[in-house]
């Protein structure tokens, strides 16, 4: 099974000589649920940006669905992000003053989908995350967990091949966090590659595959047995 995303000896050096990633290799296949854990400054976010094609590596190769990202123009990369990659952020980043339905529909904005269809699919995505009764609510009328579920609905409304979540539970209480994790687990079960960045050991331990990072390197990559309960 060819991986959805693959990093081959990927390095990232920021101007000023700061090495954020140092020859990292990683492959994530469809349906996998991976936790990337590590202290802050260990290169987690940089790796997420490289996987999500928001940033380009200084060295090495990033392959998304077998395509070399460095060979794609910005327009092609954007199209790739619009259709194959979904993002979830710690701070949700929902548009204020816009209903949950339209927030989710924005996930298809750059995919070339007509608005009526965007709405229809957004409704379906919201029902999938259990918010079918909150379609018209604005972000400030939603709880933190609900906001994150709206954000997840926005990320998956385009049926992406992979979902990147950057501390998705960081701003949530444990109950909402568990709900969000269940949702991610369900998505992985349906065939989406889900990559979760976290610095919370408990959350990392609850996921089937755990990648530990330190100082820009992968120090451990284990496919859990005891956590995979």
Partner 1 sequence: MTGDAATRPDLPATPPGAPPPGRGGDEGEAAPARLGPRDVLRVGAAGLRARPLRVFLSALGIAIGIAAMIGVVGISTSSRAQLQATLDRLGTNLLTVAPGRDFFGDDAKLPVDTVPMISRIEHVRSVSGTGKLDVKVYRNDRIPEGESGGISVLAARLDLPRTVGLGTVAGRWLNAGTGRYPAVVLGSASADRLGVAAPGAQVWLGSQWFTVVGILAPNDLAPEFDSAALVGWDVAAARLGFDGHPTTVYTRAEKDAVEDVRELLAATANPRSPNEIEVSRPSDALAAENATDEAFTGLLLGLGGVALLVGGVGVANTMVISVLERRAEIGLRRSLGATRGRSGSSSSPSRSCSPRSAGSAASRSASRSPPSSR
Q: Which residues bind partner 1 (CB under 8 A)?
A: 1-2, 4, 14-16, 18, 20, 30-31, 40-41, 45-46, 48-49, 52, 54-56, 65, 72, 74-76, 78-85, 87, 89-91, 93, 95-98, 106-113, 115, 121, 124, 127-128, 132, 154, 158-161, 166-167, 170, 186, 189-193
3-state secondary structure the chain: CCCCEEEEEEEEEECCCEEEEEEEEEEECCCCEEEEECCCCCCHHHHHHHHCCCCCCCEEEEEECCEEHHHCCHHHHHHHHHHHEEEECCCCCCCCCCCHHHHHHHHHHHHCCCHHHHHHHHHHHHHHCCCCCCCCCCHHHCCHHHHHHHHHHHHHCCCCCEEEEECCCCCCCHHHHHHHHHHHHHHHHCCCEEEEEECCHHHHHCCCEEEEEECCEEEEEEECCCCCC
CB of 23 to partner 1, least distance (A): 17
CB of 79 to partner 1, least distance (A): 4
> Whose structure tokens read 């669905």?
65
CB of 55 to partner 1, least distance (A): 5
* Closer of 173 and 222 to partner 1 (Cβ): 173
Residue 215: half-sphere exposure toward Cβ, Cα within 13 Å? 1
* Closer of 89 and 224 to partner 1 (Cβ): 89
Check: CB of residue 85 under 8 Å from CB of residue 161: yes
CB of 92 to partner 1, least distance (A): 10
CB of 225 to partner 1, least distance (A): 22
* Closer of 93 and 220 to partner 1 (Cβ): 93
* Closer of 109 and 205 to partner 1 (Cβ): 109
* Closer of 15 and 229 to partner 1 (Cβ): 15
* Closer of 61 and 90 to partner 1 (Cβ): 90
CB of 212 to partner 1, least distance (A): 18
């Amino acid at each position: 099974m060819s991986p959805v995303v693959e990093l081959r000896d990927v390095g990232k050096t920021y101007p000023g000589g700061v090495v954020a990633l140092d020859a990292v290799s990683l492959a994530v296949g469809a349906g996998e649920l991976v936790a990337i854990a590590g202290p802050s400054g260990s290169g987690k976010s940089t790796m997420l940006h490289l996987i999500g094609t928001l940033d380009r590596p200084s060295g090495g190769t990033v392959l998304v669905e077998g395509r070399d990202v460095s060979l794609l123009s910005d327009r092609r990369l954007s199209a790739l992000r619009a259709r194959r990659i979904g993002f979830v952020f710690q701070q949700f980043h929902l548009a204020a003053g816009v209903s949950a339905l339209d927030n989710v529909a924005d996930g298809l904005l750059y995919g070339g989908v007509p608005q009526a269809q965007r709405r229809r699919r957004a409704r379906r995505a919201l029902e999938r995350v259990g918010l079918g009764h909150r379609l018209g609510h604005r972000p400030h009328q939603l709880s933190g967990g609900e906001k994150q579920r709206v954000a997840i609905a926005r990320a998956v409304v385009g049926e992406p091949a992979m979902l990147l979540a950057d501390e998705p539970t960081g701003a949530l209480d444990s109950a909402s966090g568990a709900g969000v994790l269940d949702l991610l687990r369900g998505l992985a079960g349906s065939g989406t590659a889900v990559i979760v960045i976290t610095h919370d050991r408990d959350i990392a331990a609850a996921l089937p595959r755990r990648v530990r990072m330190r100082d820009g390197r992968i120090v451990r990559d284990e496919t859990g047995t005891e956590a995979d309960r």
